[in-house]
Amino acid sequence: MNKPLFLLWAFLLLNRPALAQTFSSPEEAYASYFDEVKAAEEQNVDLWNRDMYGPILLVNPKTREVYANYPDAGASLKPVGNVYCGSLPADINIANTMVHWNGRDWAMVMLPLPGNKDDRVNLLAHELFHVAQQSLGFRGYSPDNSQLDEKNGRILMRLEVEALRKALESTSSYDMKRHLTDAMIFREYRYLLFPEAKITENLLELNEGLAEYTGLTVSDRTHEATVYHFETSLNAFVRFPTFVRSFAYETIPIYGYLLQQTERYWNKKVTPETNLADLFVQDFGLTLPSDLPSAERSIEDMYDGKLIRAEETNREAMRQQQIEKYRKEFVDQAHVEIHLEKMHISFDPTNVIPLDDKGNVYPTIRVTDNWGILDVQNGALLSPHWDKITLSMPTKIDGEDVSGDGWTLQLDGSYILVQDYSTGNYQVSKR
């Protein structure tokens, strides 16, 4: 079946009118959603040899209202029907993540939840994996993958996911294996150009990739629904401003889904020392050429190589202009430097911008620390070792309330913003 007809058929199948489920209250709705993921986790105990269902916090980011499936040790959540309700303190960042709060490790998920049940279960199961991953032996690595913001790194990542797209659409095992081989050629050539990428990409894939693969598997979509899910996700992914934090959500679920057709529980072989790319090459039985540059050049046109290269050439010119702007703002000119002590950070993983060896610029980020609460909506530079955050110069200092272009800082009473007149820079220091 050709691609346009297949996608049209899948779209019609997955978007048929459904009977609307009505609830008398938000609490009743969220209790139902907790039951959904609980049942899905129980049906997939064999995935990791354990029931991954556990504490979940659903948080309204506008009001900080919380709906939970478990009580908290501090008894700040009150039972309402079959859920527990309360309010999240201001010093807790709101994000889709794992958080330790009031005596429990929680899977925190922002409201509203997806309207589609499969997507809803996928999301909740992803975050529940993060709660359990330490006990499974996996750490929450967040390495720098700045090569995926560079022109050649992005080109090869886009070519890899296009090959994965064709592997998903294949109607024969021969074609699927051919496209998987090409996907790995693009990946291994990327590693040839950026040797550290084989380590840093794998660390993020062990973290977010396995979490998303778990969410996908627990959602128990049909094959048609799974392919449609991947098509939709890949279409969005290739338009993300950057891939440095978001790629693992795409790669491992697709490789893993295709491998589970012949090796249902391949994931049980994975350890913190596993290189997932090597595992897939071995388990799919792929043979890669010795001359990767020549092989890459010979196949890239099969995957829209000319279009991808043209788009990425244009993007690279704009990226260099943006990097120059950020370098002036956060490095060359006077700025605010805040050293991180005991921070909690939330950010959007789809728009992180590497700034050479200075770290990454986060267009939106929220940080809570001993010194207070920082909310950024127009860019901040986080150092490579996550020990310092840099802001543009303040435009208003009113005691403990400080603000600048697109950022606000609410200081704890024991800290103060002071200026070093030799450099012009501001720093947060204890009184």
CB crowding 126-157: b at 16 or more within 10 Å, else e: bbbbbbbbeebebeeeebbbbbbbbeebbbbb
* Tokens, residue 207: 């973290």
pLDDT of residue 291: 98
Q: What is the dihedral of CA 276, 192, 240, 212, to 10 degrees?
A: 0
On the 0-12 / 13-18 / 19+ scale of CB atoms within 10 A, 420 is exposed
The tens place of each residue's pLDDT in the chain, 431 residues long, gives: 443 333 333 333 444 434 346 889 999 999 999 999 999 999 999 999 999 999 999 999 999 999 999 999 989 999 999 999 999 999 999 999 999 999 999 999 999 999 999 999 999 999 999 999 999 999 888 888 999 999 999 999 999 999 999 999 999 999 999 999 999 999 999 999 999 999 999 999 999 999 999 999 999 999 999 999 999 999 999 999 999 999 999 999 999 999 999 999 999 999 999 999 999 999 999 999 999 999 999 999 999 999 999 999 999 999 999 999 999 999 999 999 999 999 999 998 888 999 988 999 999 999 999 999 999 999 999 999 999 999 999 999 999 999 999 999 999 999 999 999 999 999 999 99
pLDDT in tens, 178-199: 999 999 999 999 999 999 999 9
Residue 301 per-residue DSSP state = G
Residue ranges of the domains in the chain? 31-116, 146-303, 333-430
Give me Rg for the CA atoms of the chain: 23
According to DSSP, residue 63 is labeled T
Residue 294: which residues within 8 A CB-CB, separation 6 or more?
A: none
Helix locations, 194-304, DSSP H = 197-204, 210-219, 223-237, 248-259, 276-284, 292-299
* Tokens standing for residue 239: 């338009």
Q: Residue 58 burial by CB count (10 A; 0-12/13-18/19+): exposed, middle or buried?
A: buried
Distance CA 431, CA 418 (A): 10
pTM beyond cutoff 0.85: yes
Tell me the residue length of the chain: 431
Q: How do strand 426-430 and strand 336-339 relate by DSSP bridges?
A: parallel
